[in-house]
Amino acid sequence: MCGRYKITKPITKTIDIVKTNIKVEDSDNFNAHPSQHLPIIKSYTNGKALELCQWGLVPSWSKKLEKFSPLINARKETLAEKITFKNLIQNSRCLVIADGYFEWKREEKIKLPYFFTREDDEIMFFAAIHQANQFCIITREATEKISTIHHREPLIINRSQINNYLNVKKDAMEILNSIKPPSLKFHEVSKDVNNPANNDPALIKPLM
């Protein structure tokens, strides 16, 4: 899964991709977490926009339930099958921008946090879906290298595939299934990231 990530200077990093900016500030977030309003890229008839949406998607049918935790991740393998996602993946696609993300490795009774970035240090674009100003990140089965930490990873769209993915006239699953994950690197970081209130550059520093 993907439950935390880092994004800094979102406007600067997407200036060559998006046409308009809707209430996004060029600020730094070292511990982006569910329930926050975070910058994503959506496509409109007049071009792409960078705008804020809340991380965590609440399906309309869940309103009948007393308790329902917003969905922060969606598995690529079942997108086209589950009623919650099959219409969204075809008609409501978006991209989450990130510098890197956090994942936890389970060792006996504890979980150790790690920070992941691209080997080429380029910005990441997570495939995602949106609904009613909310979004959900799509994940895939982890590569052999990443699986030593966790069995899932965000589905990362290459910059050259952004237009194809956001084009709702094209088959979403065909595009997602054709994408090869980029090479990633990672290192262990402080457990301070476990607390959503912590938000500073020290969170991504390698443990000595």
Tell me 207's DSSP state. Answer: P
Specify the pLDDT at position 18.
95
- C-alpha 205/C-alpha 190 separation (Å) is 8
Identify which of 157, 193, 194, 150 has the alpha carbon closest to the alpha carbon of residue 175: 157
Average the pLDDT over 34-50 and give the result.
95
Domain residue ranges of the chain, discontinuous segments joined by +: 4-102+116-181
Tell me 122's DSSP state. Answer: P
- C-alpha 175/C-alpha 189 separation (Å) is 33
- C-alpha 109/C-alpha 86 separation (Å) is 37
Specify the pLDDT at position 182.
95
- Those residues whose C-beta lies under 8 Å from the C-beta of residue 94, and which sit 6 or more positions away, are 40, 41, 42, 43, 53, 128, 129, 130, 135, 166
Provide the whole-model pTM.
Answer: 0.95
**Residue range 4-102+116-181, CATH number:** 3.90.1680.10
Given a cut of 60, whether residue 65 has pLDDT beyond it is: no
Strands 100-107 and 110-118: antiparallel
Specify the pLDDT at position 108.
82
Looking at 59-63, 94-98, 121-125, which range is the least confident one?
59-63
The values of phi and psi at residue 155, to 5°, are: -85, 110
Average the pLDDT over 141-165 and give the result.
95
Given a cut of 60, whether residue 198 has pLDDT beyond it is: yes
Given a cut of 80, whether residue 23 has pLDDT beyond it is: yes
Strands 100-107 and 47-55: unpaired
- The two tokens of residue 195 are 């607390």
Looking at 10-14, 65-69, 185-189, which range is the least confident one?
65-69
pLDDT tens string 87-106: 999 999 999 999 999 999 99
The values of phi and psi at residue 112, to 5°, are: -105, 125
Q: How confident is the model at residue 62 (pLDDT cuts 50, 70, 90)?
A: low
- C-alpha 205/C-alpha 208 separation (Å) is 9
